[in-house]
Every structure is written in C-alpha cells, then in structure tokens.
Amino acid sequence: MRDINSVKEEVVKQLAQKADKVSIVKLVDLLVEFSYTAKASDIHIEPQEGKVRIRFRIDGVLHDSLDPAVLPTELHQEIITRIKVLSGLRTDEHSLPQDGRFKINVAELGNVDVRVSILPTRYGENSILRILAETQSFELENLDLLPVDLEKVKKAISKPYGMILANGPTGSGKTTTLYTILKRLNKPEASVITLEDPVEYGMPGATQVQVNTQIGLTFAGGLRSILRQDPNIIMVGEIRDEETASIAVNAALTGHLVLSTLHTNDSATTFPRLIDMGVPPFLVASTVNIAMGQRLVRTICKECKNERQLTDTELKSVQEIIPDVTKSNRVFYIGKGCSVCDGTGYKGRVGIREVLEINEEIRALIMSRASAQQIKETAVKHGMTTMLQDGLKRAFAGQTTLEEILRIIHE
C-alpha cells in the first residue's frame, strides 16, 4: 500500500491544475485511496459559498486533511456526477436526496466498498462517502473485550435463543460488534438472515436483506417475513419502533437467536427503553441474554507517546467525575503530536464497553419496572465493569488519554 503522504501529494497536485486539465476519474479514485490509507471512515464533499470543502473523518473526528487544497467550484458538479455514475444514481436529479453504493478498484488496494449519500443544499449537492472497512478478519478476540466480558459474550451466543443487544450512539462500532459475533455463529448448520438499512458488509453464507421503505419493506414487515424463512439466527440492524421491538422479542421467545442494536446511552437503559416501546416487562426479562453498551475512543499515537502527571488542580477536577483516580495513580499518557498522527496525538481507535448479563436479581428489577440507575447499580454489584471504568483502565495502561475518555463518556 502506498504511503499516505505520496497519495496526499498526488491529490494536491491534481487540485492545483487548471480545472479543464484535472482527471475527474483519477481524482475520485485518489480521494477514496487517500481516505482508505488514512483510515478515514467518511469523505465529506461540502459545497459552500465560493468554494467546496473536502474533509475526512479520521478516528471519529473530522479533519481538513487536504487543507489548503480546496476543490474548485467548477469541478464540484463533475465530481458529483462521477460519484452518481459509479453508484448507479440519477445524474439528472439535483433536487432530491439519493443514496447508493459502489465498489472501486484502487491500485495496490483492490476493491474498496463505498456507501454514498447525496443531499441537495443551498450551494449545490453535498456528498458523503462512507468507506466500509472489511470485517472478514475480525474475531471476537479482536474486539479487545476484557476477559470477563469476553466470557459473558461467548456464553450468550452459545444459547440457541434470546436477544443480544449492542447499544450506543451512531458511529460507536455497534455494527462491527454484531458482525463479529455473526461471523462466529455463521456455520453451515445454521440459517443466518440479516435485515439492515443499509447492508453494511457482505457475509458469505448469510442471507442479507436491505430495508426499502419506499416499497414498504420496513424493519417490522421484513422481520415478519424473515420468521417464515426458517432462520436460526436473525440480525436486525436497529430496533427503531414498537412494532419491530415486539416482533424481535417474540422471535427471541420462540426459539430464535436475535441480534440487534438500540440507541441508548448505556447497557442498563436498554430495559426501560424496550418497556417504553410497549414490550411487556416479563418478555424483556425473559428474552434478553446480554446488553452491551459501547463507545469508540481514540488511541495514543505510539510514535509520540509521553507520560504526564496530573497537577493538583486537574486531579481535583478529575476526582469529582472519577473518584477512582487518587494521588498515588496520577500518571497518565498523552500524544504530543507528530507527522505520523498528523499532529493530533492519536492514531486508531479502540472500543470501551460494558457487558450487562441478566441474572435473577436483574430479571426481578426489570419485572418491577426499576429505573436504569437501579439496574446499573445491581449489575456493578455483581461485577459488571462500566464503560467509564473500562476507559479508565485503558488510560492508566497508556492505551488512550484521560481527556479522550472524559470527552466520550461525558460529551
């Protein structure tokens, strides 16, 4: 794979030419290659007054990585048209949002899968390209779970029925977690069906269904049809509404293993959320095997990693949020910033998680409609490591910074 700086130089060189000399085909290829090489998850092509801004989401944060190279406005529509052609979208439609995807063959990288979203704005069409990373190499052990949490997950997926839920905000790695579990479960003797919006990654051996609300194929309707397809394992991209929640819970109750995601802040909020969606507490209590809360935090760049000691003022401020930090363990680490990490001090990301396993005491709390806080306190009493504790352990170990943990957990 080419060095990131040489790809960047080539992009800047293309953009420095006169508009009529630029190869649009090559430029789009280079933007995807740069994004892939920089391990960016998204490319933002944003038209603004008098200019077009190109940004890359690297490790969850947007960067003007190609600054001061700005896309000339006269090239903007040509690039959007090229993206539409690759994605099989309508090139004559400029006033409605469009979604698509394409595979592009990049030299030395092979095929790169790209998901496209185009939105009309005041100054032209905004295009977001999501670079889909391969999960084929992912194993449960690669998720970097704490050993005790890894055992909980293995125990939950060994059960023939029930629900496994991964929770967190958009971009917290929930889909990667579910696909990694699916890869472990995807065996010749099992029928695996997924229902997604959109299908994120290809999985040989599994039947993957794309939600399409325009023709009436919703999560609820699709899930109802899937149950007539004799599946063993069902993955529902997201539980968004009461109907989907009800069908998913009943599927788990009738002998299917159901994997899905919810947008909740932590694992304990899963249960009140499902009950709010109209699922009876006794069904929630008897079907959920485990609920996982997760976030992605940036890891410190290994090339510029340095020790740092908290000052007395910092220590006092941190102790108000994290009482576990004491005077005896005030040594943390930070990245100073270098050419490798583009001056950010961070390179790559890792998941911090909490895995809430259902036991009889928690089951009783769910049945009595207990609050998320009560459920969380009981889970901690039974040995659950919270996301904050997991993050703090990683900060002490020098994997990430204390600032990053506080930014993610208390944002």
Report, as an integer, the average pLDDT of 158-167: 95
What is the average pLDDT score of the chain?
89
**Residue 36: HSE in the Cβ half-sphere, 13 Å Cα cutoff:** 25
Task: Please name the amino acid found at residue 328.
Answer: S
Q: What residues contact 385, with CB distance under 8 A and at least 6 apart?
A: 146, 148, 149, 354, 355, 393
Report, as an integer, the average pLDDT of 232-259: 94
pLDDT band at 68 (very low <50, low <70, confident <90, very high): low
Residues 322-369 have pLDDT tens digits of 777 776 778 889 999 998 888 899 999 999 999 999 999 999 999 999
Q: What's the pLDDT score for residue 135? A: 46
Kindly tell me the sign of the dihedral angle through the C-alpha atoms of 32, 33, 38, 41.
positive
CB 72 within 8 A of CB 308: no
Quote the crossing angle between the two packed helices 402-409 and 312-321, to the nearest 10°. Answer: 30
Q: What's the pLDDT score for residue 234? A: 96
- Give whole-number Cα distances, 382 to 167, 286, 331, 358, in Å: 20, 19, 29, 10
Q: What's the pLDDT score for residue 69? A: 54
More confident residue, 114 or 17: 114
Report, as an integer, the average pLDDT of 72-83: 91
- Tokens at residue 234, please? 């069902």
Q: Note the residue count of the chain.
A: 411
Q: What's the pLDDT score for residue 296? A: 93
The radius of gyration of the chain from alpha carbons, rounded to an integer in Å, stands at 23
Q: What percent of the chain has pLDDT over 70?
A: 96
DSSP output for 177-236: HHHHHHHHH--TTS-EEEEESS--S--TTSEEEE-BGGGTB-HHHHHHHHGGG--SEEEE
- Give whole-number Cα distances, 364 to 285, 297, 355, 385, in Å: 8, 34, 18, 21
Residues 260-315 have pLDDT tens digits of 999 999 999 999 999 999 999 999 999 999 999 999 999 999 999 999 888 888 78
pLDDT band at 112 (very low <50, low <70, confident <90, very high): confident
- Measured between alpha carbons, how far is 71 from 52 in angstroms, rounded to an integer? 5
Highest mean pLDDT among 71-75, 171-175, 177-181, 196-200: 177-181
CB 203 within 8 A of CB 113: no
The region of weakest confidence among 3-7, 112-116, 238-242 is: 3-7
Q: Is 325 helix (H, G, I), strand (E, B) or coil?
A: coil
